[in-house]
Amino acid sequence: MIEPQPRKTRIKQKRRWYSTIALSTAAFVDSSENWTLSILWPYIYKSLRLSVDRLGLVLGISDLARTLTLPFWGVIADRVSRRLLLVFMTGIWGLWTLAIAFVQDLNQLLIVRILSSLGLAVLWPTAFSLLSDLFDSTERGRAAGVMTAVSFAGTLAAYGVLPMLAAGSPEAWRSGFIVMGIASVFSGVLLIFINDPPRGSSEPELNDVISEEAAERFAFNIKEIPILLKINTWKVLLLQTAIDQIALSILYGWVFTWFDEIGLSDDAFIAVVFLFFGNLIGHAFFGWLGDKLENRAPDHGRSWMAMTGLIVSVPSLAGFILFGPKGLGMLILFGMLTGLSLASIGTGAQWPMAQGVLRPELRATGRAAQDMVVGIVGSLAMTLSSILVRNFDVTTMMLFLIPLPKFFSALAWIPIFKTYPADRKILHEEMEGRRSTLFAEDLADLPSEYEV
C-alpha cells in the first residue's frame, strides 16, 4: 500500500504579499477610523450642542456592542468566504462611518456609531485566519508584523491629519468622517483581489493535497468550539493577553490626560509619536525575528523572544511614568523603549503561536473569542482606573495599573514554554492524519487500472 510522504518543499500561496498589503491597508483605515470620534470630539460636541462627557457614553456603548459581537464574526469568518466577508464588512460597511458626517443629534450619533463599530470587529479575526493559510509557520510573524505596523501608522496619521481637517470651521469635523468612509470603501476594493485559499493550505502536511472540496470535509462546526478550552496554549495566551490588556488599555486611554496633568500637553504629540513609532518599528522587526527563531528553535524561539520583551517592558513602563515628568527627553527615551518592548510580544510571538496550535477551521473563532475577553477586561480596567483617579491621581493610578499587570503577565507567560511544544505537536499529528485521509480518498477515486 502506498503511504503518503510529507513534502520536502512547501507550496507558496499566490498573491500572498499582495493580500498582506491589502489587509494592511484595511488595518490602516480601521485604526484611523477607530480613533476618529475621540480625536474629533472637541469639535463634535460643540457642533451638536452636547456636553463633553457624552463621549464616554457613545464610546462605551459602541465598543461594548463591537466586543460582544466578536465571537459571532469569528464563527462567520470560519464558515464563509473570508474575502467576501472582508469586502462587505470592512469595505462597504465603512459607509456607516461616512454617515456620521451627517448626524444632527446624540441619538443619531449613537446609532450610526454602533453600526460603524460592527465593521471594525471583523478585520482582525478574519485576517488572523486568512494569513495563516497564506503563509507557513516560518513567515507568519513577518506578515502579521507588517499588518500591525501599518495599523499603528494609521493611528499616527489620524492624530496628525484629522485635527487639521477639522480646524477650518465649526462644521469642518464632518469632512474627517467623509474621508474615513471613502477610505474604507477604497480598502474594500483592494480586498476584492486577495487570495482566499482553502483552510489549511499552508500546513506542511496538507499544502499539496488540500482543495476547497477537501477543506469542506473538515469545515467549521459550532459544536467544536469547546475544543478551544482543551488547548492549553490557547488558554495560557488568553489569560496572559487579558492581564496584559489591563496595562495597555490604561496606557493608551490615559496618556494624553496624564501629559496634561504633568504639564507636557504641548509636547504630547511628539511623545506619542515616539511611543507609537517604537511600536511600529518593533512589530515589523520582531515579526521578522520571530520567524528566524521559528526556523532555529521552533519549540521555544518565539517564547523566549516574548519573555524577554515582557521582562524589559516592566522597567520601561515604570521609567516612562516615573521619569517622564522630568522632561521630554526622558519621555521620548522610555517611550521608544516601551514601544519596542511591547511590540516584541504580539505579532512575532502571540499571533503565530496561536496559529500554530489552533485547527485551521477554528482560527478566526479562537482569535475572536480571545479579543472579546480582552475587550471586556480592558473596559473593566478603565472603570477601575476612574475609581482610583478619584481617590489618588492619574500618575499613582498608572503606576498601579500599568507596570504591575505587565509583571503578572510575564509570570502568566511562563507555562507556555511547556504547553506550546506539546500543543504544536498535537496539531501536526492531526494534520498528518488529515493528509492520510485525503491521500486515501484520492487513491480511491483513481480508475481501476491505477489501483495499488
Q: What does the pLDDT look like over 341-386, one tens digit per residue? A: 888 888 889 999 999 999 998 999 999 999 899 888 888 888 888 8
Distance in angstroms (rounded) separating the CA atoms of residues 108 and 222? 35
The answer to whether 409 and 240 are in contact (CB under 8 A) is: yes
The answer to whether 277 and 339 are in contact (CB under 8 A) is: yes
Q: What does the pLDDT look like over 131-150, one tens digit per residue? A: 999 999 889 999 999 999 99
Q: What single string gives the DSSP state of each residue in 275-296?
A: HHHHHHHHHHHHHHHHHHHHHH
Q: At what angle are helices 394-401 and 403-413 packed, to 10 degrees?
A: 10
Where helices occur in 2-139 by DSSP H, the ranges are: 16-47, 54-68, 70-77, 82-86, 95-99, 106-120, 123-134
Mean of the per-residue pLDDT values of the chain = 86
Residue 141 has a pLDDT of: 92
Distance in angstroms (rounded) separating the CA atoms of residues 241 and 251? 15
Distance in angstroms (rounded) separating the CA atoms of residues 43 and 419? 50
CA distances from 268 to 32, 154, 220, 333 (A): 18, 18, 47, 14
13 burial class (0-12, 13-18, 19+ CB within 10 angstroms)?
A: middle
**Position 452 confidence tier, pLDDT thresholds 50, 70, 90:** very low
The answer to whether 100 and 113 are in contact (CB under 8 A) is: yes
Q: Taking 70 as the threshold, does the pLDDT of residue 268 lie above it?
A: no
List, in order of start, the domains of the chain with CATH numbers: 15-219 (1.20.1250.20), 228-433 (1.20.1250.20)
Q: What does the pLDDT look like over 296-328, one tens digit per residue? A: 999 999 999 999 999 999 999 999 888 877 777
Q: Taking 90 as the threshold, does the pLDDT of residue 219 lie above it?
A: no
